[in-house]
Chain A
Amino acid sequence: MSIQDRKIEDEGLAYGVSKLTTDKIQQTFQALIDNETGAKLKAFSESCMRCGMCAEACHFFVSHGDDPSYSPVGKVSQTMTKLLANDGKVTPDDIYGMAQIAYTECNLCRRCVHYCPIGIDVAYIMTTIRRFCHKLGVTPQYIQDTAHSHSATMNQMWVKDDEWVDSLFWQEDEAREEFPNLRIPMDKEGADFYYSVIAPEPKFRTQLIYQAAAIMNEAGCDWTMPSMPGWDNSDMCMYSGDFEMMGRLKRQHFELAQKLKVSRIVMGECGHAFRSIYDNGNRWLGWKDYPVPVVHSIEFFAELFEQGRIKLTGKIQEPVTIHDPCNIIRGYGLMDKLRYVAHQLCDNIVEMYPNREHNYCCSAGGGVINCGPPFKKVRVEGNLAKANQLKATGAKICIAPCHNCHGGLEDVIHHYDLGIELKFLGDLIYELMEKPE
């Protein structure tokens, strides 16, 4: 089945395409090739042997009955290869399909890169297609709205300045019922770290802020949370292709840390935000590495356990499995630390197969879930592979230390009626930790 046979209506894509001409497409493509790509794209484009090793690596391919149009090489053929072969002379209708492939049928998870004999980075190629589509103004409605929110509020959920601070006060007050002297120290200059979250936390998942405050409090951390914009570490502009805005967001995030003079930033359990900080956004700004060290919650929790700063009342006895978020595990190598923390909390870990850097994606990452309701069915059906993995473990609980993975896995678990409970590491630590009498 080609992309032409499975087009999905999306207001953002339709609006963008309605403004296109073939000339504009060609000029934009040429400018992109001349100014923003180079040897890397050329090498990737010219060295693919069409061996098909990447196909089995992709959950979309595996979950769609081995349909080659969902394979990584198939997706490249329908997008970049076609554009290069035609010097960008394609129709607006073609662009619609290319955008749908790049934004909604590839999670940029990089699993295929591991299976490619010559290491072609399909995620890079798909990211370049997204950049091209952004430059053409052809982006799915919901991810573009998120990008607009980022630009207007510096967070992805249109959270207003006062709503953020008020959410922190609210959670602090709630938590004091359980931990009488608990504080969420606001704007504390010189603290060891500032704790950053993604905007869905104050919007929908405030219990995660509560739990984080409880853990920091009980572990005796020297920490702070900022009252100012920049607190949201997420970055959907990285995925929409708006790199200029991605850089602006990362600047705000890092300069907030520099202003507060913290030694490091500890991030909540999110994957894409981590990628935007250690890989993409920082580099766009001219920093080779990150200007302020960023520690993912997995590393931070491991540190707390290693130092004996969290005391537990017991461990989970039910079978528990571990999902490996792509940006944290395949992208950054935290698989052992994730398992170290999970084993502190659970007696009966049942690994998925495959696991660690070979684990399948949740099918929500890479901004795919942010493309919203129009693409939900494809996304969920595109992860039969994950459903089968989960089912085979017999686990009652699945740990997923990433927000988008949670969103994606929730849908998968519901759609395939798996009866598995999803947990963040913070959920389990909070549940099991010693608390005041």
Chain B
Amino acid sequence: MYKTKTWNWEVGQRTIADMTPNSDHKWQEEIFISPDGEKASAVVCLDDAEFSIRTNDSVSENTFEKLWELNYTTNGDLCCYAMQDEEWTVMVADKPWEETYGFVWSPLFSADGKNVATAVQQDMEYGMSVNGAIWETLFENANNFAISPDGKKSAAVVQVKSMGQADLKTFRSGIFSIAVDGVAWDNNLMNLWTPVFDNNAYRVAAQVRLTLYDYSIIVDNTLWENTYQGVWEPLFTPDGKHVVAPVRQGGKWGMAKDGQLIWQATYANCWHHQFSEDGENLYAIVAPEYGKFTVAANDKPWEMRSPVVTDLAVSPDGKKAAALANTLNKDWRVCVNGSVWDGSYDMAWKPVFCPNSEAVAAKVRKNGRYNVLVNGKPVGGEFDMCFDPIFNADGSKVLVRGLHDGKALRVVANVPK
């Protein structure tokens, strides 16, 4: 993910830039801080239909009629969609791709941030472009976009057959498929969702609905033999050899591996499953009882129960998991391996484990003020807004990036024992 070794890890706080909106600008949009905490950027409106990107104190000379979806990639490049003369392109590190499109949306990044993919519409046909190279074949429609972890392959659900208005028979005959790098599988199906790649070999799995009632999983264009009352997102095992997905049978949810149940269908719901890196442990958010959610590790639910559980994260060593619990989107709490940290918050963000799995951090908000908690304790100060914390390689320090009184701040703190 992040190449943190070259970053400045000297403990202390530094002001990166005063990002107070410039009175010469008509307005300034949301501020983003680079992963290393050294740059703060925002889209600024200079004049009617004249937008640019401000980074720290300077404004890019590149101006466009419209800019949106500004964000930093994991390798620190600033990425954004830009429109000029009714044509859209992608800006990466202040350089626009040469290719232009009718429209662009749904940006996707490789794990290292070096490869950028986007959904594109060109002459009312749909597909994807990776690093400025559009698919050779485009389709009547495309959605549910995905790229491989290394960013070299892209996939989407595509419409391969036309259908007239309210044409039920054609729809049921199957008009959708999965296209990988623009090449559609020959299975035409009623519905497909959430294609996902494996880690290494560019295999692809997706959810499928075969009839109005029968759901299953398709892997590299081959359907599982069994069908279910429902399925959620499939996931490859880390070695790429198997596919695991939550499935619904007899009105309850369980987990299936290559079409065979590995967790019996006993849950009111089961979703957001994740493997440990070694594939030994499988975690998921589950509801052992109606209205009561928790996390299950290898089909063993934690004792903790909450009306809502979200944002499951698994530690690099696979021995721990963390998740967020809340009630009616309030009273947010951080849970690690079933233990709930003291303190509740108005909002919390997905927990982040340090590389050695010993510490876990989470960004939280209470009464409009943002903090980063590490192992349950606030570090780095309080902010008007802040970004997800990032640990250094040995997990001894944490970088906190935040905004306070218009200033972008970079704080490095020791991880509390």
Contact = CB atoms under 8 A, between A and B. Distances in A.
Interface of A: 11-12, 15, 35-36, 134-135, 137, 141-142, 144-145, 148, 151-153, 160-162, 165-166, 169, 176, 180-181, 183, 185-188, 190, 227-229, 242, 244, 247-248, 257-258, 261, 263-264, 285-293, 372
Contact of A169 (B66, B169, B250): B66
22 contacts: A11-B166, A12-B168, A15-B168, A145-B166, A145-B167, A152-B159, A152-B176, A153-B141, A160-B121, A162-B121, A183-B29, A185-B30, A187-B69, A188-B30, A242-B212, A244-B229, A244-B248, A258-B311, A263-B346, A288-B290, A288-B291, A291-B326
B126 interface: yes
B105 A165 contact: yes
Nearest to A165: B105
A190 B168 contact: no
A48 to B, nearest CB: 28
B165 A286 contact: no
A264 B141 contact: no
Interface of B: 26-27, 29-30, 48, 66, 68-69, 102-103, 105-106, 119, 121, 126, 141, 143, 159, 165-169, 171, 176, 190-191, 209, 212-213, 215, 229-230, 248, 250-251, 268-269, 287, 290-291, 293, 307-308, 310-311, 326, 328-329, 346-347, 349, 365, 385
Given A185-B30, A227-B105, A286 B121 contact: no
Contacts of B291: 286-289
Contact of B365 (A160, A190, A229): A190
A261 B349 contact: yes
A181 B168 contact: no
Contact of A137 (B212, B215, B229): B212
B108 to A, nearest CB: 12
A289 B307 contact: yes
Given A263-B346, A287-B308, A161 B268 contact: no
Nearest to A152: B191
A247 B27 CA distance: 40
A144 B328 contact: no
Contact of B103 (A12, A165, A247): A165
A147 to B, nearest CB: 8
Contacts of A148: 168, 171
Given A160-B126, A161-B119, A166-B103, A135 B213 contact: yes
Nearest to B232: A251
Given A134-B212, A190-B385, A290 B328 contact: yes
A141 B329 contact: no
Contacts of A229: 143
B307 A291 contact: yes
A247 B229 CA distance: 12
A36 B159 CA distance: 34
Contacts of B171: 145, 148, 152
A153 B191 CA distance: 10
A264 B328 CA distance: 9
B105 A162 contact: yes
A288 B29 CA distance: 37
A347 B306 CA distance: 47
A240 B26 CA distance: 48
Contacts of A248: 230
A265 to B, nearest CB: 9
A288 B307 contact: yes
A222 to B, nearest CB: 10
A120 to B, nearest CB: 25
Contacts of A190: 347, 365, 385
